[in-house]
């Protein structure tokens, strides 16, 4: 019974996270990305360009692209997107529409007063039929927008959903071309970012859009995987007992011991495999010189560690 209650709580929490991430995404898009005519990939990046060129509402343009993509993706790739992704695809345009209708498209960050007469160094946002100029602060706005986007999408990912959009295009192309999904996502998002150069003839816009994508990706990693970093260490040593005892007793970590044969001389060697946090790795490296100055050590960055002593394995 308690397991079922915990499962229900986790499910409710995940939907609340989807709602919060969708709201945050809408805030980032309407208040930070759109006023600066940026297009950091995705259907909402394209929707921002349509809004600036023809006055289309971001929410309407976004949902008109997202829903057909979701349907096409389901038909081609199968029902892999799940209810939470559908909820996210619905909530993002809903929150975006509310913000468009109440806040409008005014930037939250700008350098100087609105209604600048110097149109050459100013950007604009539309209020009905009226065009308002403002002095942009590109760098600060890009950093803040990247942080907001990263947290928003990271929270949605942690809840077990996606934001749909251009990722579906990448998945479909990947199915038929077998090109790396990461490469395809980068190509699709870069093409969307380049539309700002074509639409506004301003080289700054795609550059800042790419910077935003970079910041966003780093924040997504932090939100999804956390700030704790782990290193996987392979140690080849003749002082196997000394090194093993240090890991077990001083670091209080487990590991695995292998036997192997050297390629050059053909001698049998012992190798220890162990995963450590950053602090423990520093201690290990500091003491290995005394334990075995001839040890061979290979340290590998580990993006995710699951199992006893680390993150729990995911439940079905």
Q: What is the mean pLDDT of each run of 10 residues along the chain (316 residues)?
A: 68 93 96 95 93 93 92 82 87 96 94 70 82 91 96 88 79 81 79 93 94 90 76 89 90 86 80 87 87 89 71 61
Q: What is the pLDDT of residue 3?
A: 55
Q: What is the pLDDT of residue 228?
A: 65
Domain boundaries defined on the chain: 2-225, 230-302
Measured distance CA(46)–CA(30) in Å, rounded: 13
Closest by Cα among 115, 179, 127, 152 to 40: 152
Q: What is the pLDDT of residue 155?
A: 92
Q: What is the pLDDT of residue 181?
A: 66
Q: What is the pLDDT of residue 81?
A: 73
Q: What is the pLDDT of residue 227?
A: 67
Q: Are 29 and 44 in contact (CB under 8 A)?
A: yes
Q: Are 65 and 43 in contact (CB under 8 A)?
A: yes
Bridge partners, residue 255, by sequence: none
Token output for 162: 């996606």
Buried b (16+ CB within 10 A) or exposed e, 130-160: eebbbebebeebbbbbbbbbbbbbbbbbbbb
CATH topology of domain 230-302: Alpha-Beta Plaits (3.30.70)
Q: What is the pLDDT of residue 106?
A: 93
Q: What is the pLDDT of residue 251?
A: 87
The residue whose two tokens read 């990939």 is: 41
CA 11 to chain CA centroid, nearest Å? 22
pTM to 2 decimal places:
0.80
Q: What is the pLDDT of residue 221?
A: 81
Q: What is the pLDDT of residue 46?
A: 94
- What DSSP line would sit under 92-133, residue for residue? HHHHHHHHHHHTTT--S--SS-BS-S-GGG-EEEEETTEEEE
Q: What is the pLDDT of residue 313?
A: 63
The residue whose two tokens read 């975006």 is: 96
């Amino acid at each position: 019974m308690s397991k079922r209650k915990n499962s229900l709580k986790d499910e409710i929490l995940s939907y609340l996270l989807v709602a919060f991430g969708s709201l945050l995404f809408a805030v980032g898009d309407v208040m930070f990305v759109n006023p600066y005519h940026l297009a950091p990939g995705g259907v909402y990046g394209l929707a921002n360009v349509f809004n600036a060129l023809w006055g289309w509402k971001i929410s309407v343009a976004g949902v008109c692209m997202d829903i057909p993509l979701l349907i096409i993706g389901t038909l081609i790739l199968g029902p892999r997107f799940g209810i939470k992704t559908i909820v996210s695809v619905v909530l993002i345009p809903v929150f975006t529409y509310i913000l468009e209708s109440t806040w409008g498209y005014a930037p939250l960050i700008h350098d100087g007063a609105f209604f600048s007469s110097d149109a050459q160094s100013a950007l604009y946002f539309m209020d009905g039929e009226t065009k308002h100029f403002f002095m942009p602060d590109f760098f600060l706005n890009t950093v803040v927008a990247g942080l907001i986007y990263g947290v928003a999408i990271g929270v949605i990912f942690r809840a077990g959903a996606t934001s749909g959009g251009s990722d579906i295009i990448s998945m479909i192309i990947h199915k038929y071309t077998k090109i790396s999904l990461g490469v395809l996502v980068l190509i699709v998002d870069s093409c969307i970012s380049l539309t700002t150069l074509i639409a506004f003839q301003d080289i700054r816009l795609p550059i800042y859009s790419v910077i935003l994508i970079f910041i966003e990706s780093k924040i997504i990693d932090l939100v999804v995987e956390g700030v704790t970093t782990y290193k996987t260490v392979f140690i080849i040593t003749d002082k196997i007992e000394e090194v093993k005892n240090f890991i077990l007793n001083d670091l209080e970590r487990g590991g695995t011991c292998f036997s192997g044969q050297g390629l050059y001389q053909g001698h049998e060697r012992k190798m220890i495999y162990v995963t450590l946090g950053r602090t423990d790795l520093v201690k290990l490296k500091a003491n290995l010189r005394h334990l075995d100055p001839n040890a061979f050590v290979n340290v590998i960055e580990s993006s995710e560690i699951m199992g006893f002593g680390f993150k729990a394995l995911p439940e079905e």
